[in-house]
A and B are shown apart, each in its own frame.
Chain A
Amino acid sequence: SQQGEEDPQALSIQEGENATMNCSYKTSINNLQWYRQNSGRGLVHLILIRSNEREKHSGRLRVTLDTSKKSSSLLITASRAADTASYFCATHDNNAGNMLTFGGGTRLMVKP
């Protein structure tokens, strides 16, 4: 089964609104990462949060991690049409060596 599972699978918002995507996972992790994928392109790394961290910020992005609930969230504030993409969480499982395991992604559409 998937290690990371994103919720919702699809999200449609208006420009200027905030977008929140959630990720749940099943095992003990070393770190959790969020990636973005534009249509027809490869994934691009956004933020890495380690298991001993609870929150990280990068520009308009805010990531939280709750290891007790095995969940993470990605918040994009003041969204723009250019934020339209698929967003994936991925985990480095403590028992899976250096394999990074991805969830199914959230497809975000930001309407101008």
Chain B
Amino acid sequence: DTAVSQTPKYLVTQMGNDKSIKCEQNLGHDTMYWYKQDSKKFLKIMFSYNNKELIINETVPNRFSPKSPDKAHLNLHINSLELGDSAVYFCASSHGGLSTLHFGNGTRLTVT
């Protein structure tokens, strides 16, 4: 029933490791996103992706990369994790580029 689902919900790992967060949407949307929410609740767009175009926020380190095996999935890979990567990461999807977003419930990443 879940529209946008992310796994895992919690991820605890050590500095230097590589990890992935998975996202799936069953809404038939054509555009998916990754957002990072810091400890002060500020949300930053990281990536916007549809089957034609990947838009990357230029402030996102290239250790972060989105991978989309198909229209319903957009996974987030993070290499060489750093302490500052600790945050809650949200996946979202939308129908078209200027419409409303449907969010997953987030993945809390803790880097120790």
Once the chains are docked, how many angstroms separate the CA of A45 from the CA of B50? 20
Which residues of chain B in 36-52 are interfacial with respect to chain A, using CB atoms and an 8 Å cutoff?
40-45, 48, 50
Within 8 Å CB of B92, what residues of A?
Answer: 42-43
Once the chains are docked, how many angstroms separate the CA of A33 from the CA of B94? 13
B76 within 8 A of A: no
Mask for A33-59, Cβ within 8 A of B = 1, else 0? 101010011111100100000000000
Within 8 Å CB of B50, what residues of A?
Answer: 98
B66 within 8 A of A: no
Grouping DSSP codes into helix (H, G, I), strand (E, B) and loop, the A interface class, with mixed when no group exceeds half, is strand
Asked if A97 meets B43 with Cβ closer than 8 Å, knowing A41-B105, A42-B90, A42-B103, the reply is no
Within 8 Å CB of B94, what residues of A?
Answer: 98
Flag if A31 contacts B43 (CB, 8 Å).
Answer: no
Flag if A101 contacts B98 (CB, 8 Å).
Answer: no
Which of B40, B98, B104 is the one whose CB lies under 8 Å from A31?
B98
A14 within 8 A of B: no
Closest beta carbon of chain B to A4's beta carbon, Å: 10
Asked if A45 meets B101 with Cβ closer than 8 Å, knowing A101-B45, A102-B43, A104-B41, the reply is yes
Which of B42, B48, B97, B100 is the one whose CB lies under 8 Å from A48?
B100
- Select from chain B the residue with minimum beta-carbon distance to A50: B98
Which of A35, A41, A102 is the one whose CB lies under 8 Å from B106?
A41
Flag if A42 contacts B104 (CB, 8 Å).
Answer: yes
Q: List 9 A-B contacts (CB under 8 A).
A: A42-B104, A43-B92, A48-B100, A97-B48, A99-B48, A99-B57, A102-B35, A104-B41, A105-B41
Q: Which B residues have a C-beta under 8 Å from some C-beta of A?
A: 4, 31, 33, 35, 40-45, 48, 50, 55, 57, 90, 92, 94, 96-106
Q: Which A residues have a C-beta under 8 Å from some C-beta of B?
A: 2, 30-31, 33, 35, 37, 40-45, 48, 86, 88, 92, 97-102, 104-105, 107
> A43-B43, A43-B92, A45-B100 are known contacts; what are 9 more A-B pairs with Cβ within 8 Å?
A33-B101, A41-B106, A42-B92, A43-B103, A88-B43, A92-B98, A97-B55, A99-B48, A105-B42
